[in-house]
Structure 1
Amino acid sequence: MSSTEGTILEDELRKLECHFTWELEKEELDLTDLLNRLEQHVDFKLGDNAGLAQTYNSLGFVKYLLGSPQDALTFLQKCVEITKEYWDNDCDKWLIVAYGNLAWLQYHMKCFSESESYLEKIRSIAQKFPDSPLGFHHEVLGEKAWAFFKFSRKYYNQAKDCFEKALELEPRNVQWNCGYAFVLNRIETHGFGVPKLLTIKQLRKAIEVNPDNDELKALLAVKLAESTEYDEGEKLMEEALEGSPNAPNVIRYVAKFLRSYGSVERSIALLKRALEKSPTSGFIHHQLALCYKRKKNDLQREGCQNTSKAGDEIQRLRSQCIYHLDKATEFKCGFIVAMTELANQYSEDGKLDRAEELFQQTLQIAEEKNENLQYIYLSYAEFQQYKKRSLSDAITYYMKCLKIDKDTTNGKKSDKHLKKINDKQSSKSFGSGKAKRTFVRKEERNAGP
């Protein structure tokens, strides 16, 4: 192929709608974690065959990014095979993304005639539907939304926009309603401005169009528990567990519901069962750690830690919590929430050097990713204030947390800490109080715009 022909071919490839053109940047992705999640989806056959085909499509692109083009080719061909079987004579629009990926992959493998053949298939599909550009079919928008959702939290807003556009074209579509509910939950959970009531409303709609989806039921149970609507949540949780007793995602949500409901032992039993199926799941290890933390905190609140037996039990529970947090961070690199909690537990255990080391690692990752910054800043500030007794460092990080958003839960906690510090210093003497207020204002200025 001449350089001119190659340029023409690449120009046409760039106009396609597929993973290769959706700006899913390799540097933005945790490819190992993404690969594990997609492979788990295949292993447990989560969802219908249409969803499975999309998973193979994504796996093909991930394998390409990992430098395994032959594996990528196998997965993409499997996607085409399942799509044709599932949709039969109505498969054309569902193949647009897969054919685009195959055209790009063959181009990168320097199989230019094969690349051109997939381009020709896409041209034929476009001719069948001349009234709509390829990127405006709900089949393409929906798959694009799922890709954004699965690949990284950095793309959640793009996923939300694509799901909304797909649902405008196909309001009762099972896949798009399900994906839209999941992405709203993630955006709301991470504090990005989606109200909980909107998430609950969409979960109800998604279950209405897909009443057999137990993962949706389990997630709705968790959201209802957060709103203290336990009766309906318990009914949904029992339905989900009965319908999918071995599905890791269902068990994870059910266990979270049970922990909120106060049934920590039952939650632990479920999570241990899930761990047998998915021993390398960082999420399940994290949920187990939170269960042991809950049990430990309950004992400490009862005020009986001064007895020898209770003290030993608290230490045992803390050790279990640390063990599972260690596993969570091992199996899911860059798991900021788990890393922060692990640092907190080491701090509570008196291992301040190890806690400091973990805090520094987590701060670096969080700042590089620009993720969970308020949570890590608040935790580190509390560590500096109460464990290291470094008031100046504590104020610095309380201010960093406050500066991000003063109206969030973490922002309000930081503001409360700073006010207590000022009040305590002011109560000592007029001079020292004035000096401390001046110091806090100076720290605020140093935090910068």
Structure 2
Amino acid sequence: MNQLPYQTASRTFLIQTQSKMSMDYETALRTKLHQLECHFTWALIKDDLDLPSILNRLDEQLKLDVGKKERLAQTYTALAYVKFLQGLQKKSLSNLMTSVKLYKECHEEEFHKALIVTYGNLAWINYHMKNYTECESYLQKVEKINENISSESSSVPEVLGEKGWTFLKFSCKYYERAKECFKKALDLEPEDGEWNAGYAIALYRTEYGKFTIENSPTIKQLRRAIETNPDDDVLKIFLAMKLAIYKRYREAVSLVEEALERSPDHPHVLRYAGKFFRNKRSLDRGIDLLSKALEQSPNSSLIHHQLALCYEMNKIRLLQEGNHHTRSSWVQQIRDQIIYHLEMATTHAPCFIKAMSDLALHYGERREIPRAEEMFQMSFKTAKEKNDNLHVVHFYYAEFQLYGNRCEVLAIKHYMECLKMSPGSPEGQKSARSLRKIAEKRIYKNAQDEEAYGILGFIHKEKGEKSKAIECYEKALSYGDNDEYLTNLCALRQSMQ
């Protein structure tokens, strides 16, 4: 039976009204959700994250924290967010419910402030699953917690701490934000061991520049963190590695040996102790410790990378001793070990740009040129997409062009790109040294090589040494015309007026 016109119009109006009410309801919910303190509101950008690597770290953390319910709860909450990013909403929800259960076992109450982040994540995940009633329920739980505390959620030490640990674990791009979170938590609870440890680690990972052993904020905070966490042997090795930079080897070695004696099977202690001995050029000890760590954490890209670096130092040492036939055979065996560990590192962390670039370079050393080129192009693509470590890829590609392809022109181009992008980084500093070596070699052969002086001018310009840069560009222009050198020279002169 056909509907009358007024019935059709009425039905259309009802549908439109219901749709508008639904949209208004969802908008109201979303407004409340954006006010929460949780992983969904912390500006964790998916393109910044290497999800397989984060999952490996979180899985390892679950094993380390067996019996520590509050830490386990925090890790399950972070794990839930990663699962959500992978599109596994039901698994995400399951991890969050595990987190709630663990928190309640710790605090024996439903509305403890430690649950703010987990309830916030639960509200968000239920919203995405269109479970709006459940979403509202968790929003109300957060509201009830907020009613019982004297400050905003963003100023609760437990929230600041969980936020800080998330930033530390998820991406090196968030280390500065992690530092800010732990500092705020410490301002509220200066004696808390966890916030002191988090702040020390964040400082350790962000401290660059010139300090002395007396005024280094990291060394001071690590000592403070060890005071408040006397059983944390990883902190002792972090302190040891910082002390070694200032040549305080006796105390550094003592701290590492103490940590190894107290925690001989802790994978993080073994990993960082292995790195300490690699830095100290005690390669056999480093390889032994890292191999033990790998037995416990076979999917650790970081351990595989550290082992590759140890073997690479062995390779360099052998090459420096001379290229006899027997040594050549050993070098090839070592190179194969390096490639194996770098391949494993990139398998477990597909966005590990340094490992990818180093692997490409070693393919080139093994004369697998097409494979090396393919890996380098993949490294460039990943670095650009992630906006991360592009200068590192330029450095390794320059090395490949100089030593693998014997193409000095391309090597110069990519060393320059690296230096321009990150002059203070280790790769930037190495690029400057390589460029200087190339320029000086050219000048030795031809004292009127304009490009060589242009290279030196570029190095000085990027280092901020304007007078020396001007001198080099003037010399370059005295031997030939070059618009780029002239432009740089004019800009430098103008900046000094």
Note closer, same or farther for the CA distance 1:213–1:19 as it changes in structure 2 (3 Å cut).
same
1:101-112 counterparts in 2 under 5 A? 101-112=121-132
1:19-30 counterparts in 2 under 5 A? 19-30=39-50
Q: Which residue of 2 aligns with 1:99?
A: 119
1: distance between equivalents of 2:58 and 2:205?
18
2: distance between equivalents of 1:119 and 1:39?
29
Q: Which residue of 2 aligns with 1:250?
A: 269
Note closer, same or farther for the CA distance 1:447–1:248 as it changes in structure 2 (3 Å cut).
farther
2: distance between equivalents of 1:13 and 1:210?
36
- Aligned residue among 348, 352, 360 for 1:343: 360
Higher mean Cα deviation, 56-65 or 46-55? 46-55
**8 A contact 1:251–1:274 mirrored in 2:** yes
- 1:367 and 2:384 are equivalent in the alignment: yes
Q: Which residue of 1 aligns with 2:84?
A: 64
Q: Which residue of 1 aligns with 2:59?
A: 39
1: distance between equivalents of 2:483 and 2:359?
28
**8 A contact 2:356–2:375 mirrored in 1:** yes
In the TM superposition, what is the alpha-carbon distance from 1:42 to its structure 2 partner? 0.6
- 1:50 and 2:67 are equivalent in the alignment: no
Amino acid of the structure 2 residue aligned with 1:287: Q
In the TM superposition, what is the alpha-carbon distance from 1:96 to its structure 2 partner? 0.9
1:124-203 counterparts in 2 under 5 A? 124-129=144-149, 131-188=150-207, 197-203=216-222
SS in 2 for 1:217: helix
- Aligned residue among 20, 29, 41 for 1:9: 29
Amino acid of the structure 2 residue aligned with 1:68: L
Note closer, same or farther for the CA distance 1:445–1:141 as it changes in structure 2 (3 Å cut).
farther
**8 A contact 1:300–1:314 mirrored in 2:** yes
Which string of whole-angstrom CA distances, capped at 9 and with x for unpartnered residues, describes residues 36-59 of structure 1? 211111123279432222111111
Q: Which residue of 2 aligns with 1:378?
A: 395
Q: Which residue of 2 aligns with 1:418?
A: 435
Higher mean Cα deviation, 415-424 or 394-403? 415-424
Q: Which residue of 1 aligns with 2:228?
A: 209
- 1:269 and 2:317 are equivalent in the alignment: no
Note closer, same or farther for the CA distance 1:240–1:443 as it changes in structure 2 (3 Å cut).
farther
2: distance between equivalents of 1:361 and 1:354?
11
Note closer, same or farther for the CA distance 1:205–1:141 as it changes in structure 2 (3 Å cut).
same
In the TM superposition, what is the alpha-carbon distance from 1:91 to its structure 2 partner? 6.7
TM-score (norm 2): 0.81
Note closer, same or farther for the CA distance 1:447–1:44 as it changes in structure 2 (3 Å cut).
farther
Note closer, same or farther for the CA distance 1:430–1:310 as it changes in structure 2 (3 Å cut).
closer
Q: Which residue of 2 aligns with 1:85?
A: 105
Q: Which residue of 2 aligns with 1:298?
A: 317
- Aligned residue among 397, 402, 409 for 2:419: 402
Structure 1 unaligned segments of length 5 or more: list them: none
Which string of whole-angstrom CA distances, capped at 9 and with x for unpartnered residues, describes residues 254-287 of structure 1? 1111223343223222222222222221111111
- Aligned residue among 445, 450, 457 for 1:434: 450
**8 A contact 1:395–1:443 mirrored in 2:** no
Q: Which residue of 2 aligns with 1:237?
A: 256
Note closer, same or farther for the CA distance 1:227–1:47 as it changes in structure 2 (3 Å cut).
farther
2: distance between equivalents of 1:358 and 1:19?
33
Superposed CA RMSD: 2.8
2: distance between equivalents of 1:72 and 1:312?
51
Q: Which residue of 1 aligns with 2:405?
A: 388
Paired residues, what number? 443
Note closer, same or farther for the CA distance 1:310–1:374 as it changes in structure 2 (3 Å cut).
same
Higher mean Cα deviation, 342-351 or 13-22? 342-351
**8 A contact 2:53–2:301 mirrored in 1:** no
TM-score (norm 1): 0.90
**8 A contact 2:37–2:154 mirrored in 1:** yes
Which string of whole-angstrom CA distances, capped at 9 and with x for unpartnered residues, describes residues 100-122 of structure 1? 11111122222222221212111
Higher mean Cα deviation, 287-296 or 80-89? 80-89
Which string of whole-angstrom CA distances, capped at 9 and with x for unpartnered residues, describes residues 76-135 of structure 1? 122122222223469711111111111111222222222212121111111112x31111
Note closer, same or farther for the CA distance 1:382–1:64 as it changes in structure 2 (3 Å cut).
closer
Note closer, same or farther for the CA distance 1:101–1:86 as it changes in structure 2 (3 Å cut).
same
2: distance between equivalents of 1:422 and 1:410?
18
Note closer, same or farther for the CA distance 1:412–1:21 as it changes in structure 2 (3 Å cut).
closer
In the TM superposition, what is the alpha-carbon distance from 1:220 to its structure 2 partner? 2.1
1: distance between equivalents of 2:446 and 2:181?
59
Amino acid of the structure 1 residue aligned with 2:100: V
- 1:287 and 2:306 are equivalent in the alignment: yes
In the TM superposition, what is the alpha-carbon distance from 1:422 to its structure 2 partner? 3.3
Note closer, same or farther for the CA distance 1:366–1:194 as it changes in structure 2 (3 Å cut).
farther
SS in 1 for 2:405: coil
- Aligned residue among 321, 325, 335 for 1:318: 335
2: distance between equivalents of 1:387 and 1:35?
36
**8 A contact 1:399–1:443 mirrored in 2:** no
Amino acid of the structure 2 residue aligned with 1:22: W
**8 A contact 1:396–1:443 mirrored in 2:** no
Larger Rg: 2
Amino acid of the structure 1 residue aligned with 2:409: S
Note closer, same or farther for the CA distance 1:347–1:446 as it changes in structure 2 (3 Å cut).
farther
2: distance between equivalents of 1:443 and 1:115?
63
2: distance between equivalents of 1:153 and 1:393?
30
- Aligned residue among 314, 336, 358 for 2:375: 358
2: distance between equivalents of 1:446 and 1:317?
48
